Each structure stands twice: as C-alpha cells, then as structure tokens.
Amino acid sequence: MATIPDNVPEHNLHVDYVICYSFGDVDRSQAIEQLEKLLQALAQVGLQVEVRQGDESSLLVFVKASERRLKRAVYRSRVRDWLYGIRNAEPTPSNSTEPQTEAERLRVINHMITLPKEEGGAAITPNHGEWKNVTAVFPLHDVDTNKKWIRDWSSKTFLSDDDLDQIRNKFGESVGFYFAFLQSYFRFLIFPAVFGFSCWFLLGGYSIIYTIVNCLWCIIFVEYWKRQEVDLSCRWQTKNVSAVRTKRREFKAEKEVRDEGTGEMRGVFPATKRMQRQLLQIPFALLAAIALGAIIATCFAIEIFISELYNGPLKTYLIFIPTILVSALVPTMSAILTSIATKLNDHENHETSDAYDVALTQKVFVINFITSYMPIFLTAFVYVPFASRIVPYLDVFHLTVRPFVSKEHAVAKRSHFQIDPARLRNQVVYFTVTAQIVGFAMETIVPYIKQHALRKYKKYNKERNGKMDRNGDKESPERPVVSFDDPAEEVQFLTRVRNEVELSEYDVTADLREMCIQFGYLALFSPTWPLVPLSFFVNNWVELRSDFFKICMEFRRPVPLRTDTIGPWLDSLGFLSWVGSITSAALLYMFSGNKQHGPNGEPTDIKGWALLLTIFFSEHLYLIVRYAVRAAMARIEPPNSRKERAERYLMRKRYLESTTTAEVDEDKDEDDVTSMAQSTDISRKSLEDDARRASLHGADPATRFWMHQRGWTESAKIGAGIIQAQPTNGGVKKQQ
C-alpha cells in the first residue's frame, strides 16, 4: 500500500475504477453466478475488488490495481508503444517505475479490465455479450482538484501549457486535445476580434479588407493547429498512436482468411463491399439536404409570408409559428437523420473504432452543416436576389386576399413588398450571439439545474419513505436501499459514487462539433457582421470554463483515451475555411458597395459572370495562399517535435557508435597489414613483372588486372610516373 503514488487522491479511498453491475432484469441465481465470474476475472488480472450496494437493482464493484501487476501492465503497454513507434527508447522493466500520470494509470487499468484475455486483460465488455449486466466502468472524479481548477481558471484569461498538461494528466489526451484546441482557438480569436471591431467601427459590414484578413486568418489558424497537434502529440508522447488500432467488437467478418504473412486466421470484410455500402452516403446526403432543406425552406417561406406579406388578423401570434415549427421539426429531423446515419455506419461494418468514428463524424457533419448554415444561405443567395420574383408565389392560399382585408388593400400591400436588407445581418447576429448563449444555457445550466432538482426530489422521496419505513414494514419493496448497510464512515463516499453512476458518459466529439460549427460561422459569414469574432471570443472564454465544469459535474469522469489529433474535425475545419473563401467572395460581391436596387429592394446590377469570376479568383487565391502557408508552416519545426527528433537522433547515434566501436579493433589489425605492405619496398618493375608472371601461369584476367599494383603506394608511384610523362602544357610544347 505504501507504493501507491501520491497523485491518486486519498479521498477516493484508492479506488481506481467503479464497475456498476446491474442485476435488475435477470434471474437471481444467474446474476450471482455472473457476478462471481466478473469478480474472478478481475482478480485474475490482478485487481483487488470490494462490493457495495448501488441502488435497488445494482451493485458497485470497486476496483483497485495491485501495484506489482499494474507495474507489469504499464511495462507491457510501453513495450507495445515502443514497438509501434510511439516511444523512442526501448523500455526496460526497471525504468517502468518512473512517475506515471494519473491518466496513464487509469488507461492501463482500463486495459486490464477490458482487453481480450490473450492480450492480458479480463475481457470485460460493458453492455455487450456476456457482460450485458456490467452497465458502466468508470473512474471517480477527483472532486477537490476539479473544484480548485474551476476556481483558479475563472480568474485567468488564458490557460497555461502547464494547465493543459494537468488536464491531460487527469482526463487523458483526448480531453486534453479538446481543451488545447479550444485554448488555441480562443487565443487566435484575439486578432480577428480586435480587427473585426475596428473594421466594423470604421468600415461597417462587407469590407473587403476584413474579408481578406478573415480568410487569411482561417487558413493560418487551421494550419497552425495542424502544427500544434504535432507539437502536442510529441509533448504528450502520443505520436503515431493511431497506429495502435483497436478492433471494433461489433465488426462482423464476412469470411475467415488465413493471413499469408502472419499465418493466423483473421476475419476479413472486403473493402470493395464496404465501399459499395458507403455509396449509400450519397443518397443519404441528398435525403438529409432535401428533408432538412424542405423544413427550413418552408418555415422560412412561412416566416417571410407572415412577417412581410401577411397583414391579416392574429399576425402578432402567427409570427411565432415558423419559430415554433423550426424548433420542433429541425431537431426531430436531425435526430431521425442521425439515427439513420448511425445505422448506415453500422451497416458499413468498419473494422476499427477509429474508422467507425471518422465515418460517423462525416455523416453527422453533413447534417450539422445543413441545419446550421442553410438558413443563412437561403437568405443570402435565395431571398435577397430572388425574393421579388418568388415572394408573390408564396401566397398560395390567397390568404392576403381573404375577406378580412379589401382586395385593393391586399394588392397594394403586395406591391409594397420590400426586401429587408438587414435580414441577413440580423440572422448572422442571431446565430453568432443569441444561439450561442441559448446553446450554452441548454448545454450547461439546464442539465445542472435538472440534476440538482432530481437529486433533491430523490432525497425528499427517500426521507419521506424513510419516515414511512420507520412506521411500517422493514421489508417493504418501496423501501429505498440507498444507504442500506453502508458503514457510517463510507456513507458520504458511497452517496457521491451513487450520484456519479447516475451521470451520463462524456463524449468529446459533441464539444468539438460545437466549436467546429462555430468556426464555420466565422469562416462563412463573418464579412456580413465583423463583430462575429468578438462575440465568439467572449463566448469561448465562458465555453472553456463551462465545458470543464460540465465534465466535472454533469458527466462521469471519462476513461482516458490517447489520441494525437482532434480527428476528422480537423478536416471539417479545413473544408469550412475553403467554403468560406467562396461564400465570403460571393457575399462581398453581392452586398458591398452601392449596388443599385430595384423597386422592391432587390439588387439589380449583380452580373452572373462577375459573381462567378469573383468566386473563381477568390477560391484559387485561397488555394494558392493555403499552399504557401502550408509550405511555410512545414519549414518551422514545432519545439517539441524538434526535441523528439533530437532524442531519436541521439538514440541512433549511440547505437551506431556502439557498432563502430566494435569495429575499431578489427580496423587496427587491417591497418597493420597495410602499413606492412607499404614498408616492404618492392620496386614497381618487379611488381609489374609479378603480374606478367601470373598471366603466364594462367590466372584469370581480373586477377591479373588487380595484381599490377600492390597497395596504394604502388599505385601512387605509377600514377606519378604517368603524370610526369605528360607534357606540362600541351600548348607550350607544341610551339617548340
């Protein structure tokens, strides 16, 4: 017990993992049998267990790793890392006692619990197969540290590298990468926030300078982050970590094939078949575009109709219809589409979880792209240029010519229809300010309040039941067993654990997606309203803290995962920044300057060819600049990467030197031979004679060729002879 490192918090009673074992829905004897199996499996890999009651139908199995077995597992995991090129130096059993981070400890113990038996784990697969009853495996929050950090960070503007390292040490690289990204993004936003504010103040919207700077900033940020990823992955020793791929449990092999190389049986699924299935993505994307597009466009049309055309009764109330419709239908449709996407993704039958996640992220991104940006696209590229032509058709039911208003009045209204030029800006403001605040509330505050209310309600319920208990039957089925049999000193601890069990699992991709979509608004539409980056800057200061608060308070502590990237979201960022070069140019051309306006406020002097030419140039300029920035970034080596390279270089050098040293003795022998050959002073003539003699004795031509001169001194003499036989200067001699 004395060997437990200091970084394991004392108040978690040295508990590494909590396994939640539910027995509510199975036969009692079966449940007991399965529990025994579970405990035995854990004990076999060297994990100590303690059982306590969870809620009415679950047990809490507390798990602690024996230090000896843990040390061995750490060593094994490091050897594997070394073999896959994640670590540079070969680990030895002795140096595996070096200080581990808490994340490494938890990761290795998680591997001990979940890895298949042949790789040295207990093969516990939560919610899956024979371990269906194991509903959760998670570490416990380090409450004190979390509280301290939340307090500390609220008084800082930027997190230091050290803070990020701390996050990584507690929650693993995957969460660490998210916060590092958020921090980089936040820090990078300073410039456009200041610049955007100045532009807004001095030049207003649609300023060409702001647009160019914004596009350039997007390129630099994306490329900078790529570089930063390399740097971080060197710093956190997770470079190439994606090479260690874990097979998905759900992967269904089509046939077993003997691998030619390794000689093992291996389940395969033909890549071509998977690609055929992936083709379904195209109809899916179309479906998503049409389904969501139809909803959004319809609501949009209704809104315009009601707000700008309709003038009948109840207008004050009707105006809320589209908002209600959008709020109700879009999330529903998104949920449906997401579930279709997940099914499609399952159907694609990916072999590794990485591939699965990437494929799913792509599909989810399509849905998000449509829901997030389509309303603005509709306003900018459909409503403004074409509204005067389309809007009159909106009045399909001739509501405006209903008896409520006189026909003449209605017609007059219709001809008075005016395109609202501020509409686009207002929409951008809505999405980049209001929606962000609403999102923050929905994501952090509401769940927190809900959680507390629920706990209060439960407590109240319990107390009421407790009172009833004291009066009634001790064996009453309604009796809450929450504190049943708890030793007095553990009551507080067990209550906390039971609360944590009830929390849901944290998924970092949801937060990454949010940031990625946010970046999209900046890249795509910020020329409309240059205060966008300022708004995001403020928002992200809060976001960073609230996300950390969320992880600590509203989710179970995540199992540390290693990664060397923010994954497919990086591609999404690049894609958005590219599309931004197109939309920015289009917005700028269409809305900047003093365009002539038609009678209904529609711009009349937008030329198709000029718009397309603007886009063409803007896009290609973007690509050229991106190429240049990328090339420039590639030249500047990130500091940790340089360090890592130096380490590797030193390792190689040591190794090469050790092989060279072994040669030195041999060299000496050989040198002696050479010098001996030099010292025996054989005349050139006699050697040449030797050769001739050898030729007489029938040696092959090659042997004879190489016997003319023995040793380099001989060759030098003969060479000198040839040189001296030549005239010093042909020209001079010729004149003789």
Of 51 and 325, which has the nearer Cβ to its own copies? Answer: 51
State the nearest-atom distance from the C-beta of 174 to its own copies, in Å: 23
Of 214 and 618, which has the nearer Cβ to its own copies? Answer: 618
Of 478 and 505, which has the nearer Cβ to its own copies? Answer: 478
State how far the Cα of 293 lies from the Cα of 279, in Å rounded to an integer.
Answer: 21
State the nearest-atom distance from the C-beta of 639 to its own copies, in Å: 9
Of 28 and 398, which has the nearer Cβ to its own copies? Answer: 28
- Kindly give, in sequence order, each residue whose CB lies less than 8 Å from that of residue 87, ignoring residues fewer than 6 positions away: 78, 81, 237
Of 403 and 477, which has the nearer Cβ to its own copies? Answer: 477
State the nearest-atom distance from the C-beta of 310 to its own copies, in Å: 35
Other CB atoms closer than 10 Å to residue 52's CB: what's the count? 18
State the nearest-atom distance from the C-beta of 637 to its own copies, in Å: 8
Residue 136 forms beta bridges with which residues? 20
State how far the Cα of 112 lies from the Cα of 45, in Å rounded to an integer.
Answer: 7
22 touches 132 (CB < 8 A): no
Query: What letter would DSSP give residue 306?
Result: I
Of 151 and 258, which has the nearer Cβ to its own copies? Answer: 258
Tokens of 91: 């680990």
Closest CA to 515 of 177, 289, 211, 190: 177
Q: Would you list the DSSP string of 370-385?
A: HHHHHHHHHIIIIIHH
State how far the Cα of 569 lies from the Cα of 108, in Å rounded to an integer.
Answer: 27
Of 510 and 632, which has the nearer Cβ to its own copies? Answer: 632
State the nearest-atom distance from the C-beta of 473 to its own copies, in Å: 10
| DSSP three-state, residue 63 | strand
State the nearest-atom distance from the C-beta of 24 to its own copies, in Å: 8
State the nearest-atom distance from the C-beta of 99 to its own copies, in Å: 20
State the nearest-atom distance from the C-beta of 500 to its own copies, in Å: 16
Helix 568-591 with 208-235: angle, nearest 10 deg: 170
| DSSP three-state, residue 567 | coil
Tokens of 412: 């007059």
Q: Quick one: how far is CA 148 from the chain centroid?
A: 27
Q: Would you list the DSSP string of 397-457?
A: T-GGGSTTS-HHHHHHHHHT----TTHHHHHHHIIIIIHHHHHHIIIIIHHHHHHHHHHHH
Q: How far apart are the first and last CA of the chain?
A: 102
State the nearest-atom distance from the C-beta of 37 to its own copies, in Å: 9
Q: Which contiguous run of DSSP H or E holds residue 631?
A: helix 608-635
Q: Using alpha carbons only, how large is the chain's radius of gyration in Å?
A: 36
State how far the Cα of 361 lies from the Cα of 512, in Å rounded to an integer.
Answer: 11
State the nearest-atom distance from the C-beta of 399 to its own copies, in Å: 37
Of 318 and 611, which has the nearer Cβ to its own copies? Answer: 611
Q: How many CA atoms lie within 13 A of 222 on its CB side?
A: 28
Using DSSP bridges, classify how beta strands 17-22 and 134-138 pair: parallel, antiparallel or unpaired: antiparallel
State how far the Cα of 361 lies from the Cα of 711, in Å rounded to an integer.
Answer: 70
Of 326 and 588, which has the nearer Cβ to its own copies? Answer: 588
Of 124 and 515, which has the nearer Cβ to its own copies? Answer: 124
Tokens of 306: 């009601």
State the nearest-atom distance from the C-beta of 74 to its own copies, in Å: 12
Of 403 and 608, which has the nearer Cβ to its own copies? Answer: 608
State how far the Cα of 733 lies from the Cα of 724, in Å rounded to an integer.
Answer: 14
State the nearest-atom distance from the C-beta of 391 to its own copies, in Å: 24
Closest CA to 362 of 437, 288, 428, 436: 288
State the nearest-atom distance from the C-beta of 12 to its own copies, in Å: 8
225-229 LR contacts (CB < 8 Å, sep 24+): 225/181, 225/184, 225/185, 225/566, 225/570, 225/573, 226/570, 226/633, 227/633, 227/636, 227/638, 228/180, 228/184, 228/638, 229/177, 229/564, 229/565, 229/566, 229/570
Of 396 and 662, which has the nearer Cβ to its own copies? Answer: 662
Check residue 340 and give left, alpha or beta (phi > 0: left; psi -120 to 50: alpha): alpha
State the nearest-atom distance from the C-beta of 482 to its own copies, in Å: 13
| DSSP three-state, residue 135 | strand
State the nearest-atom distance from the C-beta of 597 to its own copies, in Å: 21
CA distances from 466 to 375, 461, 463, 469, 655 (A): 54, 8, 5, 5, 72
Which residue's structure tokens are 């060299």? 667
Of 135 and 709, which has the nearer Cβ to its own copies? Answer: 709
Of 152 and 478, which has the nearer Cβ to its own copies? Answer: 478
State the nearest-atom distance from the C-beta of 179 to its own copies, in Å: 27
State how far the Cα of 350 lies from the Cα of 247, in Å rounded to an integer.
Answer: 9
Query: What letter would DSSP give residue 500?
Result: H
Of 69 and 187, which has the nearer Cβ to its own copies? Answer: 69
Of 408 and 666, which has the nearer Cβ to its own copies? Answer: 666
Of 42 and 218, which has the nearer Cβ to its own copies? Answer: 42
State the nearest-atom distance from the C-beta of 675 to its own copies, in Å: 11
